[in-house]
Amino acid sequence: MNSFFKQWAEAAHTSLGFFWMALWAFGLGYLISSMIQVFVTEKKMQQTMGKNESKSVLLGTFFGFISSSCSFAALASTKSLFKKGASFVASIAFLLASTNLVIELGIIISIFLGWQFVVGEYVGGILLILICWLLIRLINPKKLIKKARQNLDKQEEDEDENDKSWKKKIKSEESWAKVSKQYGMEWKMVWKDVTVGFTIAGIVAAFVPDSFFETLFINTGNGNSDFSFFTILEHIIVGPVAAFLTFIGSMGNIPLAALLFGKGVSFAGVMAFIFSDLVVFPVLRINAKYYGWKMSLFILALLFTALIGTSLILHYGFDFLSILPDSSQVNIQDQEFFKIDYTFFLNLAFIAVSGYLIYLGFFKKKDLMYMKEMAPKSKLLESVLKYAALVCYVWLAGGIVVKYLIH
């Protein structure tokens, strides 16, 4: 029993340590994302995309890169762009870029996994888009695309975008109040996922033995890094399954991805795990609501196929260049989390920035109404996540009490 309390204390300490490491990155990322979403409207994006396919894919990728990393926000923006006339392939490019090429995700990955995974994330995001583009051109699903547009035409959509230039907006206190409200909404969207994700990562680090990962991901452990093709393929397929079981967005999954890599899972398997936030059931259900089930299943198959191809190309490409990361370089469990270093001061800075934004948007300009469209979440899933997050807080509080007051 004493062993359980020791592991409980260690799990809670690790979870909070992971979050402390990432706090400033969340703040920076969501601030940038909120600014972009207020100052660059979807209407302006669509007008800029044009009709040329190559140009529209390139611009869809760019606009995705500067947009939100939250999959639910990305799904809503993608639907809006597609409905306003953007091509299907440009919309998919936007969706993939806005979940895989965003700045905040790269910052979090660099903290937990290192530069190779950051390169893998961005190169992989581009590969995902290129493979999807190729597959769409080969398959040419004209009937599905036409049917998806018909489904969208039946849905009403609010137009709440004005034509003021970003130069005028950036000087307006009201626009910064909108940034504040968007920043608050970004946190509101992810707090449950982040809480559950970081808590699970701490529990896995403290309680789950290496033998579990050696069973789930074949040929891991014992410092093994010489994987056969079929072993890598198994890791790539199991990675999305593991992501599906945690049902947490990519930002909350990064500490768990670092643990998987530290336990011996291949680079390709970990990249597949990180890329999997668009091949889970909540996303499938939302796409079905927007475009119909046939198109939703087509998008799922398209993204999953691209994910497998991208992960394989990344693994063998990095191997060819002799830059495959070594799992021994990721040892986040043994880190001293709470010390006076750059993380400490960056966290204090972004806590202060967050405080000012809350004051501006929720007290000084509290009557200002501002709400970006979000994809319709499952009420059941949200309730499950909410209660899971509350259980996590009780777990974390108990673990800290055990660590510092009892032991």
Q: What is the mean pLDDT of residues 350-377?
A: 73
- What's the pLDDT band for 103 if we cut at 50, 70, 90? confident
If phi > 0 it is left, if psi is from -120 to 50 it is alpha, else beta; for residue 226 that is beta
- 105/100 Cα distance (integer angstroms): 7
- Which secondary structure element, helix H or strand E, spans residue 41, and what is its range? none
What pLDDT score does 348 carry?
92
Q: What is the mean pLDDT of residues 322-336?
A: 73
77 confidence band (pLDDT: 50, 70, 90): confident
Asked, for residue 24, whether it belongs to a domain, the answer is yes
24 close to 349: Cβ distance less than 8 angstroms: yes
Task: Evaluate whether 264 touches 217 at the Cβ level (below 8 Å).
Answer: yes
> How far is 151 from 79, CA to CA, in rounded Å?
11
Tell me what percent of the chain is helix, strand and coil, each rounded to the nearest 5: 80, 0, 20
Overall average pLDDT of the 2-18 stretch:
86
Domain that holds residue 14: 2-154+168-406
Q: Is 289 within the bounds of a domain?
A: yes
Domain count, the chain: 1
Residue 266 counted as domain residue: yes
- No. of H helices and E strands in the chain? 18, 0
Contact indicator for 283, 75 with CB cutoff of 8 Å: yes
What pLDDT, on the 0 to 100 scale, is given for residue 135? 95
Mean of all residue pLDDT scores within the chain: 80
pLDDT in tens, 244-282: 665 556 666 788 888 888 888 899 999 999 898 888 777
- Which tokens is 106 given? 């790269």
pLDDT digits (tens, 9 = 90+) for 112-171: 888 999 999 999 999 999 999 999 999 989 899 989 888 877 665 555 555 555 566 666
Pick from 8-17, 26-35, 92-101: least confident: 26-35
Q: What pLDDT is stored for residue 42 in this prediction?
A: 59
Domain-located, residue 272: yes
Q: How many CB atoms lie within 10 A of CB 139?
A: 12
pLDDT band for 98, please (50, 70, 90 cuts): confident
Give the model's confidence band at 225: pLDDT under 50 very low, under 70 low, under 90 confident, else very high. Answer: low
In this structure, is residue 161 part of a structural domain?
no
pLDDT value, residue 405: 76
Mean pLDDT, residues 39-44 taken together? 65
**pLDDT tens sequence across 237-248:** 988 877 766 555
> Quick one: which of 377, 369, 357, 361 has its CA closest to 160?
369
DSSP 8-state assignment for residue 101: S
Tokens 């307006």 correspond to 172
**How many angstroms separate the Cα of 22 from the Cα of each of 108, 235, 304?**
6, 26, 28
More confident residue, 328 or 192: 192
Residue 329 lies in a domain: yes
